[in-house]
Amino acid sequence: MIVTVGGCAAYGPAPLATSVEPVLAGSAVDLSKPLTPRALGLIAVVTNPDLKAARLQAGVSDAQVFAAGLLPDPVFNLSFDKLLTGPDMFDGLGAQLIYDLAAFRDRGLVQSGQHAARAQVRLDLAWREWQTAGQARLLGARVVGLERASTLLDRSQAAAEDALARVLAAAARGDLKADDVEARRLAAADAADRARQGERDLGAARGSLNALLGLPPGTRITIAADPVSATPLDAGALFDKARASRLDLKALEAGYQSQEAAVRKAALDAFPSLQLTLAAARDTADNRTLGPAVNFTLPVWNRNSGGIAIARATREQLRAEYAARVFAARAEIADLVERIAIARRQRGQIADTIGPLEALAGRTEAAAAGGDVARAVAEAGRQSVIDKQITLAALDQAIAEQTVALELATGAPLPRPAQTRGTP
């Protein structure tokens, strides 16, 4: 029997690597000025309706920690035996006071498990706050980019419609052929379609931002653009930062610690579970007894092997989930770094062409005003500048959104030195 009991201890710790968790930094928000995307993120954490409900739900974990520290109440049994026949003269009485001693053995483990579970809940909530703040920053960057693009698209539409009006007037005088008019008409229709689509995209982005912030539909928020950063990005260094900073990874580590306590608790349950009973009795012959009793299970066949197997399998499942999350973070960071590098290179190429192209358009417009070149040539040159500016605005928006996405994947803000946008 001693060998059997000794064979019950089957617990072996398998810790995960841990690191220091970050705290979402706060800052003052001046509502009298245009809000930066970062200010929008801070506001979203406070005002988002889903986060408000999540914070109330997180209070349940505090109650569970409190409950884990309580010891069970003793059980008190009373019995009465009515004498019906026989020579004795008394009724039988009995009383028992029962207490589960295993609660003292398991109390520390249960408490540590619940403390880890509470930490997991709080870290999960903090990760949701970080994601919500990041989504607000991303939508803010999108609104800024779409506002800029919408302004340029309106300019393009106005220029195309002005050119069409002049072509129609010239055609009415017989100075142009129908093919020239049709080409201008198609160009004006395309510019109008692009402008309408830009307006729809901007309205959708504003609506999503209002919903995230818990604001009424139609609310207009003035947003200040973040500067475009050219800081080099190292995917390996950012991944190392993510391992140390991502709150969802810290939450998984806390959940793993909670399950580690569950595995140890399952191993302890393989040992005899003791109950102490203090009994007092009087039989029908008025004989009175008082004495303790000890009850315990014999770990001969079961030995809680099923509970141990389930606890270990759950622990391994959590380990695999942690590894998968780390792998996904590495892949996401590498992908975003590559996409930002491509967008930055393309932006630089476009930005280098706009200055000379705008200078050429200015000279062509001056020549057209003097009658040296056709007006259509000057209009085409100006439209080329606007098209390049629209492309540049789209690249700036892509870089801003992908930078926010990279911050979300890294789990911490990226360094952003102040830098002039430098767009025409």
In CATH, which superfamily holds the domain spanning 43-72+112-271+305-410?
Answer: Outer membrane efflux proteins (OEP) (1.20.1600.10)
pLDDT of residue 228: 74
CA distance 347 to 309: 57
Span 320-352, pLDDT tens digits: 999 999 999 999 999 999 999 999 999 999 999
Residue 96 φ/ψ, nearest 5 degrees: -135, 135
CB 44 within 8 A of CB 132: yes
Q: What is the dihedral of CA 392, 393, 398, 403, to 10 degrees?
A: 100
**Burial class of 130 by CB neighbour count within 10 A (0 to 12, 13 to 18, 19+):** buried
Contacts of residues 315-318 at CB distance under 8 Å and 24 or more positions apart, as own/partner, are: 315/14, 315/256, 315/259, 315/260, 315/262, 315/263, 318/252, 318/255, 318/256, 318/259
Domain boundaries, the chain: 43-72+112-271+305-410
* Count of beta carbons in the 10 Å neighbourhood of residue 197: 12
Nearest alpha-carbon partner for 260 in 193, 181, 304, 316: 316
Give the H/E segment covering residue 281. Answer: strand 275-282
pLDDT of residue 2: 31
Nearest alpha-carbon partner for 8 in 273, 261, 268, 259: 268
Span 361-405, pLDDT tens digits: 888 888 888 877 778 788 888 888 999 999 999 999 999 999 999
**Encoded tokens for 138:** 């991303």
CA distance 263 to 7: 16
Span 195-233, pLDDT tens digits: 999 999 999 999 999 999 888 888 888 888 877 778 889
CA distance 329 to 323: 10
CA separation (Å) from 253 to 124, 225, 256, 323, 404? 11, 37, 5, 11, 25
CB 266 within 8 A of CB 356: no
Mean pLDDT by 10 residues, the chain (424 residues): 38 52 52 78 86 82 82 91 89 92 85 89 91 93 93 91 83 70 86 94 94 87 82 92 92 93 89 88 92 85 87 93 95 96 94 90 84 80 90 93 94 68 39
pLDDT of residue 86: 85
CA distance 24 to 42: 9
CA distance 245 to 242: 5
